[in-house]
Amino acid sequence: MTAQEIQAKEATAGKFKQDLSGRYNLDKIFAAAAWTATVVSVVVLAWLLLTILMDGLETLNFNFLNSFPSRKAEEAGIRAAFFGTLWVMMTVAAVSFPIGVGAAIYLEEFASDNWFTRLVEINIGNLAGVPSIIYGLLGLAVFVRVLEPLTGGRSVLSGGLTLALLILPVIIVATREALRAVPNSMRLAGFALGANKWQVVWHHVLPSAMPGVLTGVILALSRAIGETAPLLAIGAVAFIRSTPDSLQSAFTAMPIQIYNWVGRPQEEFHHIAASGIIVLMVMLLLMNTIAIYFRNRFQQTR
Amino acid sequence: MTAEIPIDNIAPGTWRPNRDRAQMIQLIIKIICGAFAAISIFTTIGIIGTLIFEAFAFFGDLPRELSQDGDNVSYVQGVIHFLTAGRWTPLFASKQFGIFVLISATLMITFISILVALPLGLLAAVCLSEYASPKVRRILKPVLEILAGVPTVVYGYFALLTVTPFLQSFLPPVEGFNSLSAGIVLGIMITPMVASLSEDAIYSVPQSLRDGSYALGATRRETVWSVVLPAALSGIVSSLILATSRSVGETMIVTLAAGSNPTLGFNPFVPVMTMTAYIVQVTKGDAPHGTIAYETLYAVGITLFLITLALNVFSFWFVRRFRQKYE
């Protein structure tokens, strides 16, 4: 290396600036941006909840809870929608719970790794990404039209089955996780005592996985309870002045009723829509609290 | 002791447990559970089957609907019309079926939502995994979960009755129904999804990479920006694609806040109509089976399904192709 080259090198080396204060300033800006983004999300949530409470608390009274829909906002209430939602949710639970848990037991406990289980697994992953309104179109074609003699057309049963298909992948995934969390020693102990696979699953694995399963099922149901699009697509109507009395009766549900009220131009209807939202959110909150209770119990016993 | 002990009656050594009944029950249960697992496959077949069946009926009827002026239209011309025509008026007297009108509205609103959700979600993920203390994290994560659990019809209410008036207060050209407010609220809706999926990806970057970067004299931002985020890129991109797919298929916000006026163009201040909003408009009006209006539902539905499917498959492929594995 000649002296000149060394000199040149030293010259460039001298040009390198650490510029620590500048870099730390950039650091501060970035940290501030990250915190701002998080705070904005929290503020938006607070803004959303506050608007709804301010708009809806005034009109939320017993009369509102106990009345049927009406052309006059002051007389309109949520009774039909509330019972409609209850009926639909019971149908969804009755259908999706056994099917989802059964499918998960099959995939996790019985099935060997063959083409069928792999197909089902890929399929469940894909189904979770299908927009909910597409399920509504499926329900419209299959449950409302083709199976009309069985379901009674645009009925509680059609709505419940559509929503059950929608949340089935969620339940299967949650149940599989809960089953996987049961220690293998429990199964082996059962087998050592001479029980077969089903006896072990039924008497030991399932009971100890139950809190986890229930958490998953309740969270899935709380997703179904707020789903509007599939019910709109199968043609649930908002203006129904009776509570459902069978699986085949026409129905309305809380989100449908809220959608209908929000869509009207008069401001009074917007207020009762907000009241409806409060009732819906309280139901969601209750379900989530129960789910969290189960989850905590689950974590303690493990 | 009154209970019978079978071993007493049988010579020792010849007793065998009778497991036939238990095995039969197990077989029956296994078949039933297998059938339940197969239901998910039947759901997929049902979705694809109905969409294709009714969409075929639509394209079969399309030439007849288009050739009302007397001139003949072939099936191929029908498909070309569907993909390229500039108007969407299936419920009017002079029917036009240009699906691109609906797609353009969906694209615009999705684009706006990603513009909101990308910075918000990604920065929130960085904040949660790199900056927040465990205590703060424990408070913030449930808040994001609540945001993710709010029913979409509630977001629709928020977009139409809160955000739109708010935008109008400083942006006068914004109309009562517009894609800007729908897009912003949609972006807020998918932010928790982007945040939590990206956070998982960022969280799984090993600490040794960060330590190495700090040892080289990099600051925190430089470490996050040029080491952690590139290492987590596959997870972040896939979370964005999944969020996009969610935006495309979202119904209630756009139906309530973006209006039902199928116009071609990318003006975010005026009412538009997305694919999902069209489906809601027709199903609400109770279109009888066999009419062209009923069949358009499934033509729009299959377009929507294919777009979201392509996005989901792309996301899976991207993760598998570019995932960094750390031991």
Same domain, A203 and A290: yes
Contact at CB, B154 and A42, closer than 8 angstroms: no
A8 in a structural domain: no
Nearest to B248 by CA among B107, B100, B102: B107
A4 in a structural domain: no
Contact at CB, B47 and A258, closer than 8 angstroms: no
| Confidence (pLDDT) at A113 | 80
B304: chain A residues, CB-CB within 8 Å: 131, 133-134
Task: Compute the distance between CA of residue A42 and CA of residue B147 in angstroms, rounded to an integer.
Answer: 9
Tokens for B225, please give them.
């920006």
Same domain, A29 and A76: no
Contact at CB, B276 and A227, closer than 8 angstroms: no
Which of A28, A56, A84 is the last residue before a domain boundary?
A56
Nearest to B112 by CA among B221, B262, B325, B274: B274
Nearest to A74 by CA among A63, A87, A89, A82: A63
A6 in a structural domain: no
Contact at CB, B120 and A40, closer than 8 angstroms: yes
Q: Which residue is listed with tokens 């009714």?
A: B54
For B184, how many CA atoms within 13 A lie in the half-sphere containing its CB? 17
B242: chain A residues, CB-CB within 8 Å: 129
Nearest to B242 by CA among B312, B191, B310, B182: B312
Chain B residue with minimum CA distance to A109: B30
Same domain, A78 and A51: no
Per-residue pLDDT of chain A (302 residues; tens, 9 = 90+): 566 666 666 666 656 667 788 888 989 999 999 999 999 989 999 999 999 999 888 888 888 888 887 777 777 888 888 998 999 999 999 999 999 999 999 999 888 888 888 888 888 988 888 999 999 999 999 998 888 888 887 888 999 999 999 999 999 999 999 999 999 999 999 999 988 899 999 999 999 898 889 989 998 999 899 898 999 888 777 677 777 878 888 888 899 999 989 988 888 889 989 999 999 999 999 998 888 888 777 665 54
3-state secondary structure of B18: coil
B184: chain A residues, CB-CB within 8 Å: none
List the CATH number of the domain containing A175.
1.10.3720.10
Partner-chain residue, chosen from A33, A172, A262, that has the shortest CB–CB distance to B256:
A262
Task: Compute the distance between CA of residue A77 and CA of residue B184 in angstroms, rounded to an integer.
Answer: 31
Same domain, A23 and A142: no
Contact at CB, B147 and A44, closer than 8 angstroms: yes
B32: chain A residues, CB-CB within 8 Å: 102
B51: chain A residues, CB-CB within 8 Å: 134, 137
Contact at CB, B305 and A134, closer than 8 angstroms: yes
A124: chain B residues, CB-CB within 8 Å: 40
Contact at CB, B251 and A142, closer than 8 angstroms: no
Same domain, A119 and A224: yes
A1 in a structural domain: no
A11 in a structural domain: no
Contact at CB, A145 and B289, closer than 8 angstroms: yes
Nearest to B88 by CA among B278, B286, B281, B306: B278
| Confidence (pLDDT) at A238 | 66
Contact at CB, B154 and A137, closer than 8 angstroms: no
For chain A, the first-to-last Cα distance in angstroms comes to: 69
Contact at CB, B195 and A281, closer than 8 angstroms: no
For A171-180, give one letter per residue: b (16+ CB within 10 A) or e: bbbbbbbbbe
B40: chain A residues, CB-CB within 8 Å: 103, 120, 123-124, 127, 168-169, 172
A168 φ/ψ angles, rounded to the nearest 5 degrees: -55, -45
CB B98 within 8 A of CB B270: no
Contact at CB, A280 and B151, closer than 8 angstroms: yes
- Separation in Å, CA B92 to CA B65, B88, B96, B100, B191: 12, 9, 8, 18, 38
Task: Decide: residue A45, CB within 10 A, 0-12 exposed, 13-18 middle, 19+ buried.
Answer: middle
DSSP states along B215-249: HTT--HHHHIIIIIHHHTHHHHHHHHHHHHHHHHH
Contact at CB, B41 and A288, closer than 8 angstroms: no
A5 in a structural domain: no
Partner-chain residue, chosen from A98, A134, A223, that has the shortest CB–CB distance to B304:
A134
A103: chain B residues, CB-CB within 8 Å: 33, 36-37, 39-40
Please tell me the distance in Å from A129's CA to the nearest CA on chain B: 7
| Confidence (pLDDT) at A46 | 92
A245 in a structural domain: yes
Provide the CA B294 distance to its chain's centre, in angstroms: 23
Please tell me the distance in Å from B120's CA to the nearest CA on chain A: 5
Contact at CB, A31 and B151, closer than 8 angstroms: no
Same domain, A170 and A44: no
Chain A residue with minimum CA distance to B301: A134
For residue A174, the one-letter residue type is: A
Same domain, A100 and A236: yes
B116: chain A residues, CB-CB within 8 Å: none
Please tell me the distance in Å from A216's CA to the nearest CA on chain B: 14
Q: Which residue is listed with tokens 């089957």?
A: B49
A10 in a structural domain: no
Partner-chain residue, chosen from B32, B128, B152, that has the shortest CB–CB distance to A102:
B32
Partner-chain residue, chosen from A48, A106, A137, that has the shortest CB–CB distance to B301:
A137
3-state secondary structure of B96: coil
CA angle A249, A251, A254 (to 5 degrees): 155
A27: chain B residues, CB-CB within 8 Å: 219-222
Partner-chain residue, chosen from A26, A130, A280, that has the shortest CB–CB distance to B47:
A130
Same domain, A45 and A66: no
Same domain, A210 and A93: yes
Range of the structural domain that residue A41 is part of: 18-56
The model's pTM:
0.87
Nearest to A229 by CA among A134, A160, A115, A154: A134
- In SS3 terms, chain A reads as CCHHHHHHHHHHHHHCCCCHHHHHHHHHHHHHHHHHHHHHHHHHHHHHHHHHHHHHCCCCCHHHHHCCCCCCCCCCCCHHHHHHHHHHHHHHHHHHHHHHHHHHHHHHHHCCCCHHHHHHHHHHHHHCCCCHHHHHHHHHHHHHHHCHHHHCCCEHHHHHHHHHHHHHHHHHHHHHHHHHHCCHHHHHHHHHCCCCHHHHHHHHHHHHHHHHHHHHHHHHHHHHHCCCHHHHHCCCCCCCCCCCCCCCCECCCHHHHHHHHHCCCCHHHHHHHHHHHHHHHHHHHHHHHHHHHHHHHHHHHC
3-state secondary structure of B97: strand
Which parts of chain B have pLDDT scores under 50? Answer: 1
For residue B13, the one-letter residue type is: G
Task: Compute the distance between CA of residue A269 and CA of residue B43 in angstroms, rounded to an integer.
Answer: 38
Same domain, A119 and A200: yes
Contact at CB, A41 and B119, closer than 8 angstroms: no
Chain B residue with minimum CA distance to A52: B158
Same domain, A109 and A193: yes
Counting the structural domains of chain A, the total is 2
| Confidence (pLDDT) at A15 | 63
Nearest to A169 by CA among A224, A207, A247: A224
A112: chain B residues, CB-CB within 8 Å: none
B143 φ/ψ angles, rounded to the nearest 5 degrees: -60, -45
Nearest to B241 by CA among B117, B102, B127, B143: B117
CB B306 within 8 A of CB A115: no
A120: chain B residues, CB-CB within 8 Å: 37-38, 40-41
Same domain, A257 and A215: yes
For B205, how many CA atoms within 13 A lie in the half-sphere containing its CB? 26
